[in-house]
């Protein structure tokens, strides 16, 4: 964004940072506040504070500073697939075992580190009102667990990031997962409160009395191993951490095959070696659809099961 001048028309007096967030499309309020703190915003020729009020007749000059650099470091050794890329978005195939962004215990070797090593990926400004750690995860608007495989869309600029975040908030992004469950699910629609499990800091729970809403739709695709297992599709309306894993265990009664955190108390003996060979939860982000931030075109991507889940599925089919 280059230097700009805004002359305010008829309006109620409002905070300077709020007014500029509306005028400077694609720039977050945190970014606007940084410009103000750096003295790059003048009102009638005078530097003001973010909370100062402006109104009709105010002349605002904005001289944006460059985006803050990402706190993550490039790593060209990180491997992942690319399904689609243009100047605004990058759609990737994340393999199981790859963490999406740096966090406690995973300071490097993540998808973000791999993205930053690409010549075509210039990290957008990650300053975000809703994400205090945005500098560690530039471009990331949604995540999947380390041991879940599948499709993610990444924003390549601030405007694309804000558009994708808005679509996710409106539940208009299509997210479909393929999963292998222990047992055959009979519940097809799950809507619950959702929050931290009070008994474990690593787990989440849908058996809470208050919290955010979590909604999952479950569809049976194939019965397996004489109804000891099933291939199912899970469609997300919301995207809470571990949502599918928790809902399948607590609300549907059919936990994921191979899930080390949300595992059942008892599993059929015939499934144990298949789960052990898989070595992770049998969950794959198989389809993703969204509206392109710039063109307005509806894009949709699909990925077949990865080799390890397909091997597990074939083994279950051989059990009858």
Q: Is 180 exposed, middle or buried (0-12, 13-18, 19+ CB in 10 A)?
A: buried
Contact between 62 and 40 (Cβ < 8 Å): yes
Cβ partners under 8 Å of residue 141, min gap 6: 153, 154, 155, 161, 164, 165, 168
Residue 62 has, within 13 A of its CA and on its CB side, a CA count of: 26
Question: Looking up tokens 């595992």, which residue turns up?
Answer: 263
Phi, psi of 222 (to 5 degrees): -155, 135
Helix axes 29-37 and 16-23, enclosed angle (nearest 10): 120
63 assigned to active site: no
Other Cβ atoms closer than 10 A to 302: 12
- Enumerate the β-bridge partners of residue 220: 232
Contact between 136 and 71 (Cβ < 8 Å): yes
Contact between 271 and 255 (Cβ < 8 Å): no
**Euclidean distance between CA atoms 112 and 94, whole angstroms:** 11
From the candidates 145, 147, 259, 308, which is the catalytic residue? Answer: 145
User: Annotated catalytic sites, by residue?
Assistant: 145
């Amino acid at each position: 964004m280059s230097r700009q001048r805004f002359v305010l028309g008829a309006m109620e007096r409002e905070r300077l940072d709020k007014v500029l967030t509306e005028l400077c499309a694609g720039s977050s309020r945190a970014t606007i506040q940084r410009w103000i703190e750096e003295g790059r915003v003048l009102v009638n020729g005078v530097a003001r504070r973010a909370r100062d009020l402006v109104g009709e007749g105010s002349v605002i000059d904005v001289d944006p500073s460059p985006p803050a650099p990402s706190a993550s470091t490039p790593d060209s050794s990180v491997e992942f697939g690319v399904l689609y890329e243009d100047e605004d978005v990058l759609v990737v195939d994340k393999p199981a075992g790859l963490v999406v962004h740096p966090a406690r215990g995973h300071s490097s070797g993540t998808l973000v580190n791999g993205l930053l090593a690409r010549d075509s990926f210039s990290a957008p400004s990650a300053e975000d009102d809703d994400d205090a750690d945005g500098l560690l995860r530039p471009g990331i608007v949604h995540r999947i667990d380390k041991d879940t495989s599948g499709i993610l869309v990444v924003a390549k600029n601030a405007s694309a990031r804000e558009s994708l975040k808005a679509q996710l908030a409106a539940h208009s992004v299509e997210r479909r997962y393929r999963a292998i469950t222990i047992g055959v699910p009979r519940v097809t629609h799950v809507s619950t409160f959702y929050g931290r499990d009070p008994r474990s800091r690593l787990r989440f729970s849908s058996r809470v009395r208050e919290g955010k809403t979590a909604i999952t739709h479950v569809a049976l695709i194939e019965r397996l191993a004489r109804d000891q297992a099933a291939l199912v599709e899970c469609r997300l309306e919301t995207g809470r951490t571990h949502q599918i894993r928790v809902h399948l265990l607590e609300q549907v009664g059919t936990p994921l095959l191979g899930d080390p955190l949300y595992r059942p108390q008892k599993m059929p003996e015939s499934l144990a070696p298949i789960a052990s060979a898989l070595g992770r939860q049998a969950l794959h982000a198989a389809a993703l659809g969204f509206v392109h931030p710039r063109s307005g075109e509806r894009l949709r991507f699909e990925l077949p099961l990865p080799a390890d889940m397909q091997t597990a599925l074939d083994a279950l089919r051989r059990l009858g």
